[in-house]
Amino acid sequence: MTSSLLLSATTFIYGLAGFIYVFAWVFRKTSSGRLATWVAIVGWAANTAGMAFRWVESYQMGFGHAPLSNLYESLIFFAWTIIVIYLYIEWRYGNRVIGAFSAPLAFLAMAYASLSPNISDKIQPLIPALKSNWLIAHVITCFIGYGAFAVACGVSAMYLLKSGRDAEEGGLIGRFPPTPVLDELTHQLVMFGFLFLSAGIITGAVWANSAWGRYWGWDPKETWSLITWFIYAALLHARMMRGWRGRRIAYLNLMGFAAVLFTYFGVNLLPGLHSYQSMQ
């Protein structure tokens, strides 16, 4: 299968890109930084092609559907959005140190998808509840949001490392962007992620209403996505209306991303409608 080959390659290339980003940051090599960017772009192209081939292959198997239907496929799309969002930031801010905190996240998502024994990489036909165009809208919006939150989490981690050491020139931390830039970037990413999280919850609600006749049922996945939404809503209000900056926002942001991770992975351990995600 071409797609599995491409996606295995993607895992490896993202790992390599992450390694080169870290190398360029630690040894202050601009040329390796540029190389890291190109490796990330190649990885992203392989990721895109892998998803496209998987889509085609599902049609060849006789039950074609977009490759956004189970945990494996969502992780691959998650890695894809992380890299897109990171590359955009690199282009906008011209700083590659953030790559050392973003590309490894994409690698982890891909590696988890490929290596976890609990995740099947088989292309499976859609069960009746998943046969809806809202599925595609729901998964895409959710994972664009999650991708933005993942990168924001990396940026907040950088903020916390650098906070209070702005005066330091050189050194590993000194090569981070200045803290106000990191703080502002976190804010931008959270706003972007929040917009897509809202859209993701909403498309999920519309889909649930067409499949089960209720737009909200307090099942654990729905509830956890709402918990995530509450945390980021609190963060945005604290920052925009109460003038919170810096460490407090960074900690709230890490809390928000922890909720994202639980919504994504933890909820499968709890009973509910979304448990089909863990089906083999």
What residues make contact with other proteins under the rule CB under 8 A? 63, 124-125, 127-129, 131-132, 184, 191-192, 194-195, 198-199, 202, 205-207, 209-216, 218, 220, 223-224, 226-227, 230-231, 233-234, 237-238, 241-242, 259, 267, 270-271
Angle at 81 between CA 17 and CA 267, to 5 degrees: 110
Whole-angstrom Cα distance, residue 102 to residue 97?
A: 9
Minimum distance of other proteins from residue 276's CB (angstroms): 10
The residue type at 152: A
Q: Which lies closer to other proteins via its Cβ, residue 22 or residue 140?
A: 140
Minimum distance of other proteins from residue 191's CB (angstroms): 4
Q: Which lies closer to other proteins via its Cβ, residue 55 or residue 244?
A: 244
Q: Which lies closer to other proteins via its Cβ, residue 47 or residue 228?
A: 228
Q: Which lies closer to other proteins via its Cβ, residue 50 or residue 220?
A: 220
Q: State the residue for tokens 């995530």.
A: 228
Q: Which two tokens stand for residue 162?
A: 């650098």
Minimum distance of other proteins from residue 252's CB (angstroms): 9
- The answer to whether the CB of 57 falls within 8 A of the CB of 11 is no
Whole-angstrom Cα distance, residue 122 to residue 119?
A: 9
Q: From the CB of residue 130, how many other CB atoms can be counted at a distance below 10 Å?
A: 18
Minimum distance of other proteins from residue 57's CB (angstroms): 16
Q: Which lies closer to other proteins via its Cβ, residue 25 or residue 72?
A: 72
Minimum distance of other proteins from residue 87's CB (angstroms): 19
Q: State the residue for tokens 């706003």.
A: 191
Closest CA to 63 of 128, 124, 3: 124
